[in-house]
Amino acid sequence: MIYEKVIIELTNSEIDLCNNLLIASPDRHIFNDIRLHLRIQDYYKNTVEGNVLFFSSNGNITAYIIIYHIIGKKPIYYYSPYQKSLITYGGIVCSGGRSQQKLYLKELKKYLRKRRAIYIKSIPGTDIGVYRELGFKINEKQTLYINTQKSEDELWNEIKNRIKWNIKKGYQSNIKVNIIIPKVIDDIEPLYEIYSELCTRTGLYLHSKSYYFSILDNNNFEHSLIFYAYQGVQVVSAMAVLQYDRIIMSWFGGTFIKYRNTNAGSLIYWEIIKYACSHNLECFDLLGLDIQDIAFFKKGFGGYEVPVYHITYKSLSFKVFNVIRKLIGK
């Protein structure tokens, strides 16, 4: 059985329940943490509605999925996650194995019958067999994991020579890396300036500074860091990282174009790897290999590829509605 609740209307007990389910799930991930989505919904409240679908069994809630849809748009197309939010992964959170996952997906399909469709971007390594079995459409991509449960020397030896040269060049350029825990909006000011320049140059979508801070803010729970690279007193490069349990991931960042020759960006990635290693974290997720040039850069740090699945399902009534709408020109 499924019941739906608007994110901003969740009670404290429901938020605690989501947190407990996430902790118990083998697929636990920061992007399924309801506390982040409360902040996202507050930002998008006028254009996008976020909901939690709770799955219950024998009167107990045993799983959930966070979904979004654009307000006023018909037919309803749900997103898990809403990609414009920069939240990378979504999907069902549950503590059970394949048999339970199948049960929840069957319930989800029933829920979607009324002219609805859904897009899910799974967390890396999801068991995709049950989705295929139930008729979901699958598109496979890759992300890059670095196993940080190795010694620093082992991790260094896995790095390609071209990246090692960049890192050494960064040190020779007198680049120093500091780590901060963002708690006030001024903490992200240099990061935002760097990313704004990158977005202007590449055409990437740029949110407001307040949006990025709302995600990175550590005042209610600590989950993010910013790695700043300095040349003297000048910030030249930055990377925001998110952390949950024993996984750390690079979320967004960049290097000022005029300081690109310092190789500070390579040095920051190496410092993140060293941080994860020294803090006994399990792995570093470099969040995607979709863009060829960036993928070539990331692969220079070693690691191994892990599949990430883009999953879609469109109910028959959704498809029929769209066909009729096209025929009548609406």
pLDDT in tens, the chain (330 residues): 898 999 999 999 999 999 999 998 877 889 999 999 999 999 998 899 999 999 988 888 999 999 999 999 888 999 999 988 888 999 999 877 777 888 999 999 999 988 789 999 988 888 889 999 999 999 999 999 999 999 999 999 999 999 999 999 999 999 999 999 999 999 999 999 999 999 999 898 999 999 999 999 999 888 999 999 999 999 999 999 999 988 999 999 999 999 999 999 999 999 999 999 999 999 999 998 988 888 999 999 999 999 999 999 999 888 888 888 778 765
Dist CA 7 CA 4 (whole Å): 9
Contact 143, 288 (CB under 8 A): yes
Q: Are 225 and 181 in contact (CB under 8 A)?
A: yes
**Structural contact between residues 54 and 61, judged by C-beta atoms closer than 8 angstroms:** yes
What is the DSSP-derived secondary structure letter of residue 217? -
Q: How far apart are CA 316 and CA 330, in angstroms?
A: 19
> Which residues have a Cβ under 8 Å from the Cβ of 18 and sit 6 or more positions away?
10, 34, 52, 64, 93
Domains, the chain: 2-140+309-327 (3.40.630.30), 149-281 (3.40.630.30)
Residue pair 249/288 in contact by the 8 Å Cβ criterion: no
User: pTM for this structure?
Assistant: 0.93
